[in-house]
Amino acid sequence: MREANDGKVSVLLCNENYIGRSRRQQSRVPATPRSTVERQQAAKGLPPLAGGQVQPLPVSLSSQRIAATAACWFQWQCIEAWVLDDSGFSGPSGTRRSGNFNNASSWGRLGNNKILRKTEKVCNYWVQGKCSYGDKCRYLHSWSLGDSFSFLTQLDGHQKVVTGIALPTGSDKLYTGSNDETVRVWGDCQSGQCMGVIQLGGEVGCMISEGPWIFVGVPNVVKAWNTQTNTDLSLTGPVGQVYALVVGNEFLFAGHTVAVVSLVVGADRLYSGSMDHSVRVWNLETLQCVQTLTEHSSVVMSVLCWDQFLLSCSLDQTIKVWAATESGNLEVAYTHNEEHGLLTLCGMHDLEGKPVLLCSCNDNSVRLFDLPSFSERGKIYAKQEIRSIQTGPGGLFFTGDGTGQVRVWKFVAEPTVSA
**Residues 154-178 pLDDT 10s:** 999 999 999 999 999 988 899 999 9
Average pLDDT, the chain: 77
Q: Are 101 and 306 in contact (CB under 8 A)?
A: yes
Q: Are 182 and 158 in contact (CB under 8 A)?
A: yes
Whole-model pTM: value is 0.76
Q: Which of 204-208, 285-289, 400-404 has the lowest mean pLDDT?
A: 285-289
Q: Which of 21-35, 65-79, 401-415 has the lowest mean pLDDT?
A: 21-35
Task: Report the b/e string of 132-164 with b at 16+ CB within 10 A.
Answer: eeeeeeebeeebbbeebbeeeeebebbeebbbb
User: By C-alpha distance, which of 395, 359, 362, 400 is closest to 379?
Assistant: 359
Q: Are 66 and 243 in contact (CB under 8 A)?
A: no
Average pLDDT over residues 383-403: 95
The string of DSSP codes covering 340-367 is S-EEEEEEEE-TTS-EEEEEEETTTEEE
Note the pLDDT of residue 282: 95
Q: What is the pLDDT of residues 318-366, one digit of tens each?
A: 999 999 999 999 999 999 999 999 999 999 999 999 999 999 999 999 9
Task: Give residue 85's pLDDT band: very low, low, confident or very high (50, 70, 90).
Answer: low
- 17 vs 110, higher pLDDT: 110
Task: Report the b/e string of 21-60 with b at 16+ CB within 10 A.
Answer: ebeeebeeeeeeeeeeebeebeeebbbbeebbebbebeee
User: By C-alpha distance, which of 177, 138, 137, 139 is closest to 161?
Assistant: 177
Q: Are 1 and 75 in contact (CB under 8 A)?
A: yes
Note the pLDDT of residue 142: 81
Note the pLDDT of residue 160: 97
Task: Give residue 72's pLDDT band: very low, low, confident or very high (50, 70, 90).
Answer: very low
The string of DSSP codes covering 168-182 is -TT---EEEEETTSE
Instruction: Give strand pairing partners of 283.
Output: 269, 288
Q: Is 338 left (phi over 0), alpha (psi -120 to 50) or beta?
A: beta
pLDDT for 46 beyond 70: no
User: By C-alpha distance, which of 88, 71, 99, 86 is closest to 15?
Assistant: 71
Note the pLDDT of residue 56: 23
**How far, in Å, CA of 210 to CA of 170, rounded?**
11
Angle at 389 between CA 383 and CA 393, to 5 degrees: 130
Q: Are 29 and 58 in contact (CB under 8 A)?
A: yes
CA of residue 183 relative to chain centroid, distance: 15
pLDDT for 313 beyond 90: yes
**What residue ranges define each of the domains in the chain, with the CATH number in brackets?**
11-411 (2.130.10.10)
pLDDT for 109 beyond 90: no
